[in-house]
Amino acid sequence: MKRLLKLAGLGLLALLLAAASVLAITGLPAPPAITADGVPRIPWKRAWEMVSGVKEMQAVTGFTNWVPGREGMLAGAGMSRTVHRVSAPGAALEPIEGLPAAAYNLVFRSDPEHPFFVFALDEGGSELYRLYRYDWSSATVVPLTETPARGTICCFEPGGERVAYASTARNGQDFDIYLMDPADPASVELALEADGEYWPVAWSSDGRFLALRRYLSHTHTALYLLDVETGSLERLLEDWGDSVSFQAVDWSHDGGRLFFSSDHDTEFHTLRSYELSTGAVATLTEGIAWDVTDLELTPDGSRIAFLVNEDSAPTLYVLDLASGTSRRVDGAPAGFVRAQLGFEALYMHPRHARVALDVNPASGATSVYSYDLDDSRWTRWTQPAADETERRPVEIVRYPTFDLVAGTPREVPAAVFRPAPSFEPPYPVLIELHGGPAMQAGPVLPRPFAIVVSGGGVVIRPNVRGSSGYGKSYMALDDGPAREGAVRDVGALLDWIATQPDLDSGRVAVMGASYGGYLTLASLTHYSDRLRCGIDMFGFSDLVTFLEASEEHHFPEAQRAEFGDERDPETRAFLESISPLNHAERITVPLFIYPGANDVRVKPAES
């Protein structure tokens, strides 16, 4: 019997080895749910790269916050951004006991002995948050609010106990401003009953005023001061109108000035100061013809660290307020600073002149760095998940499109990633279209697309009209009835590909997510004869139903300012005429659609 069992085991092992040998040669078959006519099996090498890519994405790190009174910082890790403690540069990531994996928007008091911090948490990606307190000593979580709502936590009042936050809890639409002592949740008070979307961004040093930014559209905001003692609200620089944008707001340490970036009377967001006593405005970054996207004051208030989005590559600068001179920081680590207009990317230490920021090599995994303004030293805090020496360099190109600027063809910037020289041209091409639309594709290749390059393909990430970073006029080129201009920019890219001897114009795919998914579908309805396939990731197919769904959750007036008001019959007819859903019969190549079941902006029905 033992011999029979042994022989049976050896036979089973032989069968498994034989099956493995066959699969190693033939590759992985398509899953049963996917029809793959004429598509070869996936080689094991590519399958292993996919597995390795997922492991790399799980090891990506991003800065969360400095920890007052405790050494080190907090960093999010993996695709879930689970928060860990990093006690020193290069130290292992330590999980925080009792803190939920999806904890978001962590806010601390600057007091080193403060026993807790505040954070937000939603369920299932709903973006409807409740606020919580995390107590360091007991590693416990205490709920602070009951109603899930959209919003954001700003900051603690200087020298005080209250935290300021915005929430739509009252009616689900308007972003009211609340103040609360997290040690006593019953202390919550409504500081501003809002009519619209207001975001608290900075608290004055004396605790009297909150600077608020009101969201008017994807490209326009307004700046306000809220007196937290009287409840009065004052709009600053109202004579600038509604067609401007304010970003990256912070107070001077004496409370007499506000610093911010704005595109008033300029194409780009320049760094400025506003004197509260006189209303005088001064520009602090004359001669820098790119957007200032974020700023942080040093703890002593003498300098400002700020980011400049130079041709899609955010670059660190330092301004000395006494002399008025600024310098570009040299010696930065190779890679792309993760930043997007309107989102925080720099984080100043509460006690030292040291900023933290996330850096991503051209197609590697993000690591956290700090830069010390006093000794001009860069320090790496977290380690990458991949060998960065294997990454391919990026080339920034500009290709001509259909319209003219001063009599010459307008140019569209794009990042091009080519494979290793060991691959034979002409290369197949994947066009990846970013979301937004007022976002930007930087010179960095996310890991899933890096697999295309490692397999011998080229990835091109264009910044079609409507993208941020190239001036407000460029951002407005796709507004309303000009929407199809962005699709024509994709067509112009196909023309450019056909002129490149190392690119195969007969093997071009297009893909994108959210608004990029819409552009993918629209491109397929126009250019199916020039594309081999497409991938739509939670993109909207009908502009009218997308805008109608925005009423339920996501900034309806801002969306209408960008795309048009579907309630107007003439505009509605136009939007219907360009919606990919109404021209689906024109898509004659394979299309893979990836909907998001919990997507709060693009409903699954759009797929």
212 in Cβ contact with 195 (< 8 Å): no
Whole-prediction pTM value? Answer: 0.88
H or E element that contains 22: helix 2-26
Q: Determine the residue type at 363.
A: S
Specify the 3-state DSSP secondary structure of 451. Answer: helix
Q: What is the pLDDT averaged over residues 491-515?
A: 97
Q: Which of 374-388, 448-462, 464-478 reaches the highest mean pLDDT? A: 464-478
Q: What is the DSSP letter of 28?
A: B
Confidence of residue 10 (pLDDT cuts 50, 70, 90): very low
Mean pLDDT, residues 79-84: 79
Q: What is the pLDDT of residue 219?
A: 83
Strand, helix or coil for residue 23: helix
d(CA 296, CA 450): 33
Q: Are the beta carbons of 458 and 430 closer than 8 angstroms?
A: yes
- The per-residue pLDDT for 19 is 47
Which residue's structure tokens are 């400002």? 304
Over 50: is that where the pLDDT of 20 sits?
no
Give the integer Cα–Cα distance in Å for 279 and 275.
Answer: 5
pLDDT value for 339: 55
pLDDT in tens, 589-607: 999 999 888 777 888 888 8
Residues 6+ apart with CB under 8 A from 462: 399, 412, 413, 414, 431, 433, 441, 489, 490, 493
What would the two tokens of residue 108 be? 């601390």
Q: Give the integer Cα–Cα distance in Å for 200 and 162.
A: 13
Q: What three-state secondary structure class fits 384? A: coil
**Distance between CA 53 and CA 33 in Å, rounded?**
23
Residue 531: how many other CB atoms lie within 10 Å: 24
For helices 484-498 and 515-527, angle between their N-to-C axes, nearest 10 degrees: 60
Q: Give the containing element (helix H, strand E) for 210.
A: strand 209-215
Q: Looking at residue 53, what is its pLDDT? A: 63
Identity of the residue numbered 380: R
What are 269's two structure tokens? 């967001």
Higher-confidence position of 249 and 13: 249
- Per-residue pLDDT, averaged over 387-398, amounts to 72
Which is nearest to 465 in space by CA: 457, 452, 475?
A: 475
Q: How far apart are CA 483 and CA 480, in angstroms?
A: 6
Angle at 22 between CA 19 and CA 26, to 5 degrees: 135
pLDDT tens by residue, 90-114: 898 888 999 998 888 899 887 767 8
**In this structure, is the dihedral angle defined by the CA atoms of residues 4, 10, 11 and 16, taken in order, positive or negative?**
positive
Per-residue pLDDT tens digits for 148-188: 999 999 999 998 899 999 999 999 889 999 999 999 999 99
**Confidence (pLDDT) at 13:** 45
How confident is the model over 262-271, as a mean pLDDT?
A: 95
Q: Quick check: 292 and 247 in contact, CB under 8 A?
A: yes
Average pLDDT over residues 440-466: 89
Tens digits of residue pLDDT in 40-54: 777 777 777 666 666
Residues 107, 119: Cα–Cα separation, whole Å: 6
Q: Are strands 408-417 and 458-462 parallel, antiparallel or unpaired?
A: antiparallel
Residue 362's Cβ-count burial label (10 Å; 0-12, 13-18, 19+) is buried
